[in-house]
Protein backbone atom coordinates (compact mmCIF):
# COMPACT_ATOMS: atom_id res chain seq x y z
CA UNK A 1 0.00 0.00 0.00
CA UNK A 2 1.33 3.44 -0.91
CA UNK A 3 0.18 6.93 -0.13
CA UNK A 4 1.28 9.63 -2.51
CA UNK A 5 0.78 13.35 -2.02
CA UNK A 6 1.09 15.55 -5.08
CA UNK A 7 1.51 19.29 -5.18
CA UNK A 8 1.63 21.75 -8.06
CA UNK A 9 4.82 23.66 -7.38
CA UNK A 10 5.51 26.52 -7.04
CA UNK A 11 1.81 27.44 -6.59
CA UNK A 12 1.31 25.02 -3.68
CA UNK A 13 4.75 25.46 -2.14
CA UNK A 14 3.39 26.42 1.29
CA UNK A 15 1.09 23.37 1.41
CA UNK A 16 3.97 21.17 0.30
CA UNK A 17 6.25 22.48 3.06
CA UNK A 18 3.51 22.04 5.65
CA UNK A 19 2.98 18.41 4.62
CA UNK A 20 6.71 17.80 4.51
CA UNK A 21 7.18 19.14 8.06
CA UNK A 22 4.14 17.45 9.57
CA UNK A 23 6.27 15.38 11.95
CA UNK A 24 7.73 18.59 13.37
CA UNK A 25 4.26 19.95 14.11
CA UNK A 26 3.30 16.69 15.81
CA UNK A 27 6.50 16.79 17.89
CA UNK A 28 5.84 20.39 18.88
CA UNK A 29 2.31 19.52 19.96
CA UNK A 30 3.59 16.65 22.11
CA UNK A 31 6.28 18.90 23.58
CA UNK A 32 3.60 21.33 24.75
CA UNK A 33 1.96 18.51 26.68
CA UNK A 34 5.25 17.36 28.17
CA UNK A 35 6.37 20.83 29.25
CA UNK A 36 3.07 22.49 30.17
CA UNK A 37 0.56 19.90 31.35
CA UNK A 38 2.42 16.70 32.28
CA UNK A 39 4.32 18.28 35.20
CA UNK A 40 0.98 19.24 36.77
CA UNK A 41 0.08 15.55 37.01
CA UNK A 42 3.54 14.10 37.68
CA UNK A 43 6.15 16.06 39.59
CA UNK A 44 5.20 19.72 39.66
CA UNK A 45 6.73 22.77 38.07
CA UNK A 46 8.83 24.22 40.77
CA UNK A 47 8.08 26.36 43.77
CA UNK A 48 6.87 29.53 42.03
CA UNK A 49 4.29 27.97 39.71
CA UNK A 50 3.23 25.34 42.25
CA UNK A 51 2.39 28.15 44.71
CA UNK A 52 0.23 29.83 42.09
CA UNK A 53 -1.61 26.59 41.40
CA UNK A 54 -2.54 26.33 45.08
CA UNK A 55 -4.93 29.24 44.49
CA UNK A 56 -8.37 28.04 43.50
CA UNK A 57 -8.73 30.46 40.58
CA UNK A 58 -5.38 29.50 39.09
CA UNK A 59 -6.19 25.81 39.40
CA UNK A 60 -9.51 26.33 37.61
CA UNK A 61 -7.78 28.28 34.85
CA UNK A 62 -5.15 25.60 34.39
CA UNK A 63 -7.76 22.84 34.28
CA UNK A 64 -9.73 24.79 31.67
CA UNK A 65 -6.61 25.23 29.54
CA UNK A 66 -5.87 21.52 29.81
CA UNK A 67 -9.45 20.71 28.83
CA UNK A 68 -9.14 22.91 25.74
CA UNK A 69 -5.82 21.31 24.84
CA UNK A 70 -7.37 17.86 25.03
CA UNK A 71 -10.35 18.98 22.94
CA UNK A 72 -7.97 20.19 20.24
CA UNK A 73 -6.28 16.81 20.37
CA UNK A 74 -9.62 15.03 19.92
CA UNK A 75 -10.68 17.34 17.08
CA UNK A 76 -7.46 16.75 15.14
CA UNK A 77 -7.45 12.99 15.60
CA UNK A 78 -10.74 12.63 13.72
pLDDT tens-digit profile of 4-48?
Answer: 999 999 999 999 999 999 888 889 888 988 888 888 888 778 888
- The whole-number pLDDT of residue 78 equals 65
CB 5 within 8 A of CB 19: yes
pLDDT tens-digit profile of 59-75?
Answer: 888 888 899 988 988 88
The structure's pTM equals 0.62
Q: Residue 77 above 80 pLDDT?
A: no
- The whole-number pLDDT of residue 16 equals 93
Amino acid sequence: MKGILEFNLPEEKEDFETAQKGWKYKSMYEEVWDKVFRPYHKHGYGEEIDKLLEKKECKKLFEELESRYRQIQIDFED
